[in-house]
A and B are shown apart, each in its own frame.
Chain A
Amino acid sequence: MIEFAISDPSAWMVLSAESIAAVVIVAGLLQIVFYFVLLLYAGAALGTRPPVPRSATLWRRYSEQAPAISVLAPAFNEELTIVESTRSLLALQYPDFEVIVINDGSKDGTLARLIAEFGLEEVDRFVDRSVQHAHIRGFYASPRLPRLLVVDKENGGKADALNAGINCSRTALFCAIDADSILETDALLRVVRPFIDEPDLTIAAGGTIRIANGCKVDSGRITDIKLPRNFLALVQIVEYLRAFLMARVGLGKMQALTVISGAFGLFRRRHVIEVGGYSHGTVGEDMELVLKLHRLMRERKRDYRIEFIAEPVCWTECPDTLSVLGRQRARWQRGALECFVKHRNMLFNPRYGRIGMVGFGHILLVDVLGPLLEVLGYVLVPLLWALGLLALPWLLAFLAVTFMLGVFLSIATLVLEEIQLRRFPKARELAVLAVIAVVENFGYRQLSNLWRLQGWWQFARKQQSWGTMTRKGFSTS
């Protein structure tokens, strides 16, 4: 039979077409099954999480034992927002913290504004030299604000600035954030929980990033949660819900988390120094740090935990134009590929336990193969069906894994959000997001995959630039 099939050109073409479709469908199905498992784990994690009290109760319970934290806020050319951001950080509700703003060689008046607004003076500071970074030009502080230290350094990028902050910090824990994001006032009290519950095991914990576009901001605080009107921003709200509420909560429950967002993560300083801090020369420095931590602990056969906590929230502004969003997505893709290639020996390596099997399996399936196979499917499956080389069930199966199950996962994430967290104040907002969860599959999803292919191309050409992220600034009430 096989000899007959291969000798018959039309049968050979059908067999080839079916093989291509089968690869695309199986890869898509594997992704969906993986996400489905993550959703179940996320549901279990949220359903069994420790009680989540109000801020006042948290303070009463944790304030005596909460370990000191250094909040590291790298800033580059942020003179318009830096004063308000720093004020908002200084107003965080946490018993013992310092804010270290790292001016990463800004070309605008970022440093001058900080000095003028907070009455800072140049001081000296005895700092560590454990991790590498560009030259520090000076330190600025004020006796009136003992919690604030401004570090002025030569430009070296975000990873370099964070390394400088790590060297300057004097606490066991540091929290890496983006200076232009907004931490909720009780975010530190909430994200520190695993470090209090399991102080000997926890080495890192990440919190949720939410999109602030459309929300009202007053004095560096979110005062009114609203949905944006911009379609791209709305789609990203659904994407972030999937990424944080489903993927990261699920992977955290599995103890297979491979990334803690650079916009909000709490780390044990000692372990980060052991892995050499943030890596230079990569655009995925946040992911790489977590992978390096896993590698260190696994190779030294030490027990550890890297957690994801859903309740603490950091608000960030997302891109709302195609060009900026495209650049961001291509950069994220490039970062994931760089990390994957750099640590490829961890893939399916039993030495690295569930990180090698589950964490790296996830990266391979979703970040490495995902965009390639999905775009291949968009081009070939409908074409082969139109040419009569594929029967209708093949096309339906492709549509099932790319569209229908995608819609199912997005809606199921919204259901999980509504049951467990209820962070959208109005029912109407949830309904709007449900519509977006369906609509995004027709057009946006394909475009997103093209951006990721662009990231693949940039990675193949070893392109290193970050691109420009144009921010409009939060709307104020």
Chain B
Amino acid sequence: MTTLRALWEVSLALCLLAVLALLVLLVARVLAARFSGRNSAARRRLLPLLLDGDPATLEPLGRAELQVAADLTIELAEMTRGSERDALLARAASLGVVDLLVKRMRSRSPQTRLFAVEALSLFDDAREKVVGALDDRNPDVRLGAALALARYREAPAALTIVNKLNVREEENSLLLVSLMIDLVETNSEAVAGLLFEKDLSNRVKVAAMDALAERGGEYAPLLAYMARDSEGEPDLQPRIYRALGKTGHPIGAEAIFEGLGSASWTVRAAAAEAVGRARLAAAADRLSALLEDPNYWVRYRASEALLRIGPTGIKALREASDSEDPVVRTAAVKMLAEGRAR
């Protein structure tokens, strides 16, 4: 009986506690609404200063207004470019925004730290402070700092960044590709060097390959070598074929043709896609053979590639459209129809 009564009493206590907590939050919300009125007034006052003030005459703001100015600066910076943005940032720096952002980098909230890192990276003179965020305890803040520094060509060496990102747990984000693309702009050799690091994961290497592919044919021989070398890795090899196709360089042709005969359908489909991207007309016969592949994606990519490689491919599709095999015929007829509609 004591337990049953205790259950009732505990339930009452929990209910009261929850109601009390909600009441406190409601009161906080009402008070915050009053402050939001002040914030709106501060925004109205600060907006012309940030857009049109003379940096030489601007004085550092008090704490409350500075918070508003920092948020406003970030919003405006996302909408402006070039000299307009430079002037905006100079005014914001005169108002003391940089100092506030540096303080925010020490916040307990990772969200606040990330915003501060991204905002600080906008200011030319403050980027060295962002480098410290590469050692932040939160992986999102570390990645945000790396992306920001790479965007402004002020990132440390590619391997240093990757090692910092992989502290505690491995970074798997697709944003690694964006990072590598920016890093390639400053030092493509260092990014290519990542491919030969034994301890690095495939995820990092694939991101590096995607980025190197953006440089056109320069790294095509290396990618062709990697494509062959990764045989038997059905998760990795398709990404390499896509990167190889993106380079559009004929030196990758042999490696791509080998991929068309892979046992893995994901590799065959990626190789067929690469043929289309690189417009390798010599692969027309091999692609025609893939129109009877048991996997739809292989048939689709092969027929699409035939369409993309031009007259030779279209001729092959026309021939296949008379095939007795309904699977081949459907792929060819439908893709020809799609080609006409494009």
- The yes or no answer to B175 lying at the interface (CB within 8 A) is yes
- The yes or no answer to B61 lying at the interface (CB within 8 A) is no
Is the interface on chain A under 10, 10 to 19, 20 to 34, or 35 or more residues? 35 or more
The CA-CA distance from A259 to B10 in the complex, in Å, is 32
- The listed residue (A394, A405, A412) touching B4 by CB distance below 8 A is A394
Which residue of chain A is the closest to B334 with respect to CB atoms? A126
The CA-CA distance from A15 to B25 in the complex, in Å, is 46
The CA-CA distance from A65 to B143 in the complex, in Å, is 14
B341 touches A124 (CB 8 A): yes
Q: Which of B16-24, B46-54, B159-167, B188-196 contacts A (4 or more CB under 8 A)?
A: B16-24
A57 touches B118 (CB 8 A): yes
Interface string of A32-60 (1 = CB under 8 A from B): 00000000000000000011111011001
Interface string of B72-97 (1 = CB under 8 A from A): 00010011000000000000000000
- The yes or no answer to A119 lying at the interface (CB within 8 A) is no
- The yes or no answer to B8 lying at the interface (CB within 8 A) is yes
The CA-CA distance from A130 to B334 in the complex, in Å, is 17
Q: A200-B203, A396-B5, A427-B33 are in contact. Are A143 and B18 (CB under 8 A)?
A: no
Q: Within A379-413, which residues are at the interface with B (CB < 8 Å)?
A: 391, 393-394, 396-397, 399-401, 404-405, 407-408, 411-412
How distant is B297 from chain A, measured CB to nearest CB, in Å?
8
Task: Please indicate the chain A residues that have their CB under 8 angstroms from the CB of B40 in the complex.
Answer: none
B19 touches A434 (CB 8 A): yes
- The listed residue (B29, B297, B300) touching A427 by CB distance below 8 A is B29
- The yes or no answer to A198 lying at the interface (CB within 8 A) is yes
A418 touches B22 (CB 8 A): yes
- The listed residue (A51, A60, A197) touching B111 by CB distance below 8 A is A51
- The yes or no answer to B337 lying at the interface (CB within 8 A) is yes
- The listed residue (A125, A170, A200, A430) touching B22 by CB distance below 8 A is A430
How distant is A380 from chain B, measured CB to nearest CB, in Å?
16
The CA-CA distance from A194 to B252 in the complex, in Å, is 33
- The yes or no answer to A128 lying at the interface (CB within 8 A) is yes
A128 touches B296 (CB 8 A): yes
Please indicate which of the listed interface residues A391, A397, A431 has the most CB atoms of chain B within 10 Å of its own CB: A397
Task: Please indicate the chain A residues that have their CB under 8 angstroms from the CB of B147 in the complex.
Answer: 61
Task: Please indicate the chain B residues that have their CB under 8 angstroms from the CB of A126 in the complex.
Answer: 299-300, 303, 330-331, 334-335, 338
Task: Please indicate the chain B residues that have their CB under 8 angstroms from the CB of A67 in the complex.
Answer: 174
B115 touches A65 (CB 8 A): no
Task: Please indicate the chain B residues that have their CB under 8 angstroms from the CB of A129 in the complex.
Answer: 296
- The yes or no answer to B30 lying at the interface (CB within 8 A) is yes
A401 touches B175 (CB 8 A): no
How distant is A273 from chain B, measured CB to nearest CB, in Å?
9
Q: Within B292-313, which residues are at the interface with A (CB < 8 Å)?
A: 296-297, 299-300, 303
Which residue of chain A is the closest to B5 with respect to CB atoms? A393
How distant is B35 from chain A, measured CB to nearest CB, in Å?
13
Task: Please indicate the chain B residues that have their CB under 8 angstroms from the CB of A57 in the complex.
Answer: 78, 118
Task: Please indicate the chain A residues that have their CB under 8 angstroms from the CB of B10 in the complex.
Answer: 400
How distant is B7 from chain A, measured CB to nearest CB, in Å?
5
The CA-CA distance from A52 to B297 in the complex, in Å, is 35
Q: Within B260-302, which residues are at the interface with A (CB < 8 Å)?
A: 296-297, 299-300
A51 touches B337 (CB 8 A): no
B331 touches A393 (CB 8 A): no
Which residue of chain B is the closest to A170 with respect to CB atoms? B300
- The yes or no answer to B230 lying at the interface (CB within 8 A) is no
Interface of A (DSSP majority class): helix
The CA-CA distance from A408 to B299 in the complex, in Å, is 57
Task: Please indicate the chain A residues that have their CB under 8 angstroms from the CB of B235 in the complex.
Answer: 200
Q: A124-B338, A124-B341, A199-B172 are in contact. Are A408 and B14 (CB under 8 A)?
A: yes
A29 touches B78 (CB 8 A): no
The CA-CA distance from A83 to B173 in the complex, in Å, is 37
A401 touches B300 (CB 8 A): no
The CA-CA distance from A170 to B7 in the complex, in Å, is 56
- The yes or no answer to B1 lying at the interface (CB within 8 A) is yes
A56 touches B78 (CB 8 A): yes
B26 touches A431 (CB 8 A): yes
B8 touches A397 (CB 8 A): yes
How distant is A402 from chain B, measured CB to nearest CB, in Å?
10
Which residue of chain B is the closest to A62 with respect to CB atoms? B175
B173 touches A196 (CB 8 A): yes
Q: A51-B140, A60-B78 are in contact. Are A401 and B111 (CB under 8 A)?
A: no
- The yes or no answer to B101 lying at the interface (CB within 8 A) is no
- The yes or no answer to A5 lying at the interface (CB within 8 A) is no
- The yes or no answer to B67 lying at the interface (CB within 8 A) is no
Which residue of chain A is the closest to B181 with respect to CB atoms? A64
- The listed residue (B14, B296, B337) touching A405 by CB distance below 8 A is B14
B110 touches A51 (CB 8 A): yes
Which residue of chain A is the closest to B175 with respect to CB atoms? A65
- The yes or no answer to B178 lying at the interface (CB within 8 A) is yes
Task: Please indicate the chain A residues that have their CB under 8 angstroms from the CB of B337 in the complex.
Answer: 123-124
Task: Please indicate the chain A residues that have their CB under 8 angstroms from the CB of B338 in the complex.
Answer: 123-126
- The yes or no answer to B11 lying at the interface (CB within 8 A) is yes
B33 touches A405 (CB 8 A): no
- The yes or no answer to A341 lying at the interface (CB within 8 A) is no
Give chain A's interface residues, CB within 8 Å of chain B. Answer: 25, 29, 50-54, 56-57, 60-62, 64-65, 67, 123-130, 141, 143, 170, 195-201, 391, 393-394, 396-397, 399-401, 404-405, 407-408, 411-412, 414-415, 418-419, 427, 430-431, 434
12 more CB-based (< 8 A) A-B contacts, given A53-B115, A123-B337, A415-B18: A29-B7, A51-B140, A52-B111, A56-B78, A64-B178, A128-B300, A130-B296, A143-B342, A393-B5, A396-B4, A397-B4, A427-B33
22 A–B pairs (Cβ distance < 8 Å), ordered by A? A50-B110, A51-B111, A56-B78, A56-B79, A57-B78, A65-B177, A124-B337, A126-B299, A126-B334, A129-B296, A130-B296, A198-B172, A201-B172, A397-B4, A404-B8, A404-B12, A404-B14, A408-B11, A411-B19, A412-B21, A430-B26, A430-B29
